């Protein structure tokens, strides 16, 4: 399961640690995206769609 999660999260690796894609988030939302717990939670819908 960890490998499956890593395979999905690898698609969302930022160019540099902590860097946020301006096209993906904007304004105050960027601070939430940079929180590790939020990054993990944001992966689940993508993983579900990928394997449906």
CA 41 to chain centre: 8
Does some domain include residue 33?
yes
The predicted model scores a pTM of: 0.17
Report the run of H or E that residue 40 belongs to, with start and end.
Answer: helix 36-50
The span from the CA of 38 to the CA of 25, in Å, is 13
Per-residue pLDDT at 15: 53
Count Cα neighbours of 36 within 13 Å in the Cβ-side half-sphere: 1
Per-residue pLDDT at 8: 61
The domain containing residue 8 runs over which residues? 2-14+24-50
Per-residue pLDDT at 5: 61
Residue 16 tokens, joined = 């540099």
Does some domain include residue 10?
yes
What domain count does the chain have? 1
């Amino acid at each position: 399961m960890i490998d499956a999660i890593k395979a999905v999260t690898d698609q969302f690796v930022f160019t540099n640690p902590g860097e946020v894609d301006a096209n993906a988030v904007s304004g105050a939302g960027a601070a939430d995206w940079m929180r590790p717990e939020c990054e993990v939670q944001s992966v689940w819908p993508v993983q579900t769609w990928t394997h449906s």
